[in-house]
Amino acid sequence: MVTSELDLEVRYYETDLMGIVHHSNYIRYFECGRNKWIRDVGLPIEELEASGIMMPVSSVECHYKLPSKMGDVLHIVTTVKEMPMARINVYTTITNKKTGDVVCTGKVVLGFIHSDTRRPTRVPENLAVRLRPFFE
């Protein structure tokens, strides 16, 4: 299992007229967590893409528990629980840092494709080599 953590403060433009975070922003928070996660394992997304591999999203699940508001600090925990093969499952839990309450949970499934052909591929070796020690 490989986990990464990130804190983000809710910004005004992410809220609606009620001062509540619009539901679509949680998918963006998931992406912020994934970007931090892949940097933490030692292969920033820009480096992966420069090697000719892209990671398109194939599905997203988001389970909303409690609302977040302007000024809340969200604690984003991103976890990969199994060694990826042709896909990578990325799990996210977002909590309100002040209260500890779970705001939402979710899962994003991404594939691996060659950037030139857009054809699917298995997990690239430059990522696999960084992940193997976590799953042995």
Catalytic annotation, residues: 16
What is the Cα–Cα distance from 75 to 33, expressed in whole angstroms? 10
The contacts of residue 27 (CB under 8 Å, 6+ apart) are 60, 62
Within the chain, where are the H helices? 25-40, 45-50, 125-135
Please identify which residue in the block is written with the tokens 């060659």. 114
DSSP annotation of 116 reads T
